Amino acid sequence: MPEEPRTTEEPRPTEGPRTPEEPNATEEPNAAEAAGPQGRGAARKIVDLDARSLRGLAHPLRMRLLASLRLEGPATASQLAARLGESSGATSYHLRQLATYGFVEDDPERGKGRERWWRSKHDGTRMETTLMRDPDPSVRGAYNELLHYHVTLHAEEASTWVGTQGEWSREWQDSADLSDYTLRLTPARTEELGKRIHQLIESYRELEADKGNPDAARVRVHSHVFPTHPTT
C-alpha cells in the first residue's frame, strides 16, 4: 500500500495566462471494451470537434447522455431517462440530435426489439482551443459550456468518492489520490507537462492483464493544468 500522503500546496505566483494550442481532451470510458464501438484491442476512436459539432453537443442533457453511454455502455432512451431522471421523450429527442451531429448511433447487436438501443460512436472527445477564439459568439459560448460541464462533472465525481470511500476496501482507500501542486512554468513547459501526463495515463490503458483481474475496478483520472494570477 502506498505511504505517500495526499499533497496540497499553497499557491505561488504564476505567469499570466497564455493558451497553448494543444487540444483539450474529454473522455468517458465504455463500461466494457467489447460493448464499445470498436471491441477489445482495437484503436480508440477520438472525435475532433468543429464549430458545428461543438454547438450540437453543448446542451446539458446531450452532454449527460453521451457521457452515460460512454461510461455505462449502450442503452435505450427509457433506460437513460431512468438513469438521468429525465423523461423518455426528452432523452429520445436529444439522442436523435446527437445522432444528427455524429456522436451516437444505433447498436445493431441489441436493437432487435421495439425500442432502439443507442451507443457512442467514439471513446472520447477532443477540441482545439482555437474554438475559444472563434469569431462566432455562439461557438465561444458552446466551448465554455462544454468546459464548465466537465469541470462540474469532475467536482461531482471527486465529491462522490470522498463521501463513499468508506464503502471501499482499505487497499482502494490507500491507493486513491486527491492532490494539487503549484509550479512556475512557461507556456511551452506547461504544454509539455500536459502531454507527458497524457502519455503516462495512456501507458496504463495498455495494461490488459488488469482487465480480467477481480481486484480491478474502473478508475477515474482527472487532469487540470492551467495558469493562475497572483491573489491580491
13 near 230, Cβ under 8 Å? yes
Please count the other Cβ atoms lying within 10 Å of the Cβ belonging to residue 122: 20
Mean pLDDT across the chain: 84
Question: For residues 36 and 123, what is the distance between their CA atoms, to the nearest angstrom?
Answer: 8
More confident residue, 41 or 67: 67
Query: Collapsing DSSP states into helix, strand and coil, what is residue 127?
Result: strand
- Nearest-Å Rg of the Cα atoms of the chain is 19
Read off the pLDDT of residues 169-220 as tens digits, 9 standing for 90 and up. Answer: 999 999 999 999 999 999 999 999 999 999 999 898 877 667 778 888 989 9
11 near 228, Cβ under 8 Å? yes
Contacts of residue 169, Cβ cutoff 8 Å, sequence gap at least 6: none
* pLDDT, position 25: 58
Read off the pLDDT of residues 131-150 as tens digits, 9 standing for 90 and up. Answer: 999 999 999 999 999 999 99
* pLDDT, position 11: 40
Kindly report the pTM of this predicted structure.
0.77
Question: For residues 133 and 141, what is the distance between their CA atoms, to the nearest angstrom?
Answer: 10
Mean pLDDT of 7-36: 40
Query: Collapsing DSSP states into helix, strand and coil, what is residue 229?
Result: coil
